[in-house]
Copies of this chain bind each other. A is one copy, B any other.
Amino acid sequence: MLQIALDAMGGDHAPAPEIEGALLAARQLGVKVLLVGQPDRLYPALRGAGWTTEPIEILPAREVVAMDETARQSIRTKRDSSLRVGIEALRQGLAVGFVSAGNTGAIVAAATLWLGTIPGIARPALATVLPTLSGRGTLLLDIGANADCKPAMLDQFAVMGAAYVEQILGVERPRVGLLSIGEESVKGNALTREAHALLCQHAPQRNFTFVGNVEGRDIYTGAVDVIVCDGFTGNIVLKTSEGLATALLTMLQEAWRQSTPPSRDTVAGLQQVRTRFDYAEYGGALLLGVPQPVIVAHGRSTGRAIYNAIRVAQEAHLRRLSHQIAADPAVVAMLHHPHRNGVVQDLSGLA
C-alpha cells in the first residue's frame, strides 16, 4: 500500500482539518497516511474523529514550524519539526508523497535542501490553478519560490507545468504561454525576451505547444493551460487578484446596501463566484521540480482540501510526473552542462 506523509501540525487550524483529510484519504484512496506530529496531541484527536481501523500511522515529531518563521531559521534550529520529519520520510522512501498546510517558504526551502531537484532541473517552482471564464483552470507558475529567475528557469517551468496539467488534469498537448507585456516576441523585459527565444528554440522537441507571450488580461479567460513567469511576478499576480476580488465583491455589497436588499438568488450568485475565487477552496500550490511530489496546501485548508492534496500527491507519484519532467530534451541537456545558463542551485532567496 502506498504511503503518503502528511504534516499534521502545519495548517492554521491544525490538527483538526489534517485529521479529517487523513481519514477521508485512508478510507477512499487506498493509501496509508503517515500523520507527522506530536503523538500526545494526535492520538486523542484521531480517536475523537472516529478513527478505528483506517490505515493511518503516527510519525512522531516534537517541534512545529510557525507560519511567521523564516525558512532559514526553521531549517537551522528545528531539527525535529513535523516538516523535517515528513520530508525525511519522503527522502528515505518511506512515503511517496508529502502534504503540508504549513509555512510555504519553509516547505519550499526544506524540500529543495533535503530532496534536491529532479536531475537537470535548476530550481523547483510553486504552481497553482486559477479559475477562468472557460471553466477550465489555468496553471500559473512560479508563484513565489524564486523571486529572481534566469531565462532557462522559465523554460523549465514550462516543462514542469505542462507535465502537471497533462498528467494530473488530463489536458492533451497543453498550451503554454509566457506572461509578458505585449504579445509580440520583442515585447517584455530582458528576462521574458530571452525566455521567449529559448522556448521557441526548444518547441519542436516538446509535447506541449508554446503559444508565445500572453498578457495579464489572458490569465482569467482560460485561453491557455499553463502560464509561466518569475516568482516575483507570479506572487504579485496572485495577491493582486485576491485583493481585487475582495474589493470588487465588497463594493458590490456596498452598492446594494444603499438600495433595496438583494434577493436570495443574488446573494447565492455572489457566494458562488466568491467560492470560485477563494484561494482556500481552490486548493494550495504544488512544488514542481523536486523528485517526489510535495503539495503545499493552503493554511486555511479544510479536511476536504487536505484529502484533495493527498489525492494529487498519489496521482503525481503513480503517473511518474518527475520522470516525464526529467525526460525533456532541454532538461537532459542541462544535466550535462549544469552551469551553462548560470542557474546553479542557490537557497539564498528562500530564507
Contacts and interface: CB of A to CB of B under 8 A. Distances in A.
A233 B273 CA distance: 27
Contact of A240 (B235, B240, B269): B240
Interface string A6-33: 0000000000000000000000000000
A33 to B, nearest CB: 32
A1 interface: no
Nearest to A349: B189
Nearest to A251: B273
A255 B264 CA distance: 12
Contact of A181 (B235, B242, B244, B277): B235
Contacts of A180: 232
Interface string A234-259: 01111111111111111110011001
A218 B236 CA distance: 11
B252 A269 contact: yes
A216 interface: yes
Contact of A216 (B215, B231, B238): B238
Contact of A265 (B190, B236, B237, B256): B256
B256 A243 contact: no
A236 B228 CA distance: 13
A268 B263 contact: no
Contacts of A270: 252, 255
Interface string A219-233: 111000000011111
A265 B259 CA distance: 6
A217 B243 contact: yes
Given A144-B181, A148-B189, A219 B233 contact: no
Q: Which of A133, A220, A250, A276 has the most CB of B within 10 A?
A: A220
B259 A260 contact: no
Interface in A181-195: 181, 188-190, 192
B260 A265 contact: yes
Contacts of A259: 265, 268-269
Contact of A188 (B188, B217, B232, B272): B232
Q: Which 4 A-B pairs have the closest CB atoms?
A: A216-B239, A255-B269, A216-B240, A217-B243
12 contacts: A181-B232, A189-B230, A189-B232, A216-B241, A217-B240, A217-B242, A217-B246, A221-B243, A237-B240, A251-B276, A252-B270, A263-B263
